[in-house]
A and B are shown apart, each in its own frame.
Chain A
Amino acid sequence: MSESVGANMEVRLLPAAFDPAAVHGDFLTRFGAFGAVAAFTGVVRETAKEAAVDYLYLDWYPGMTEASMQTIAEAAAKRFDIRALGIHHRCGEVRAGEPVVFVAAASTHRRAAFEAVDYMMDRLKSEAALWKREVGPQTDHWVEPTASDAEDLKRWSEK
């Protein structure tokens, strides 16, 4: 584990809309002095496979979902030389155009920060205890991780 990530680990499962810019700002204020902060925001697309999407519904398992996110955060803290990290993930109904996930990492050097964010996103896609349903005027189906999500995840086991 990197020396001081422990206390600087913020993992949140959010049932209501959040503002990633505010979370990012707060993260920068608290951890920017380490020198390198990388962040990623995922936003619900308005179309999926050419079908309009009104909202995503993210089903979750209270307790297990938070624990699965915490496991991913701890693995990132152990694997990369980072000093702080944050995962904010929505659950419930998330409208098109709204942020669904925000991930950030702070380090003394950019590479570790970039890699930690990339790693956490790849694992969240397939290993966070969440179930995503896409709903629109012509579509209503549960989404499963794609072959490319599986390939993304594999990158981290080959190292």
Chain B
Amino acid sequence: MIDILFFGRVADRLGKRRMAMVLPEEGLNLLTLRLRLFDGDADERLRMSVNQVVVTDDRPLRDGDEVAFFSVFSGG
């Protein structure tokens, strides 16, 4: 099972802030998950993190991972 969180514009667009997913037996990579969730929408500004660390490259997801998708940061 992995936790998937959404923040900012991305949470608005999907109409939800979190979901859980059971990892398929054959495994699941981060970019495959992204493709599934966002239907191939190639939004360059979509950012990702795994276990609260921002990542840009693909990687296999493991049970217990916390994955997040969000738009670019804007604080201050």
Contacts and interface: CB of A to CB of B under 8 A. Distances in A.
Contacts of B12: 142
Interface in B13-71: 45, 49, 52, 68, 70-71
Contacts of B68: 61, 64
Contact of B9 (A42, A100, A131): A131
Contact of A61 (B45, B52, B72, B74): B52
A73 to B, nearest CB: 13
Contact of B76 (A67, A68, A128, A129): A128
B41 to A, nearest CB: 16
Nearest to B47: A129
B52 A126 contact: no
A61 B76 contact: no
A132 B7 contact: no
A130 B49 contact: no
Interface residues of B, number: 17
A24 interface: no
Nearest to A64: B52
Contacts of A59: 7-8, 11
Contacts of A89: 75
A125 B5 contact: no
Contacts of A58: 75
Contact of A131 (B5, B49, B52, B71): B71
A144 interface: yes
B9 A142 contact: yes
Contacts of B73: 68, 126-131, 145
A142 B76 contact: no
A52 B58 CA distance: 42
Given A101-B75, A125-B75, A143-B74, A131 B45 contact: no
B71 A142 contact: yes
Nearest to B52: A64
B19 to A, nearest CB: 15
Contacts of B71: 131, 142, 144
Interface of A: 42, 58-61, 63-64, 67-68, 89, 100-101, 121, 124-133, 142-145
Q: Which 6 A-B pairs have the closest CB atoms?
A: A131-B8, A128-B75, A130-B75, A125-B76, A142-B9, A64-B52
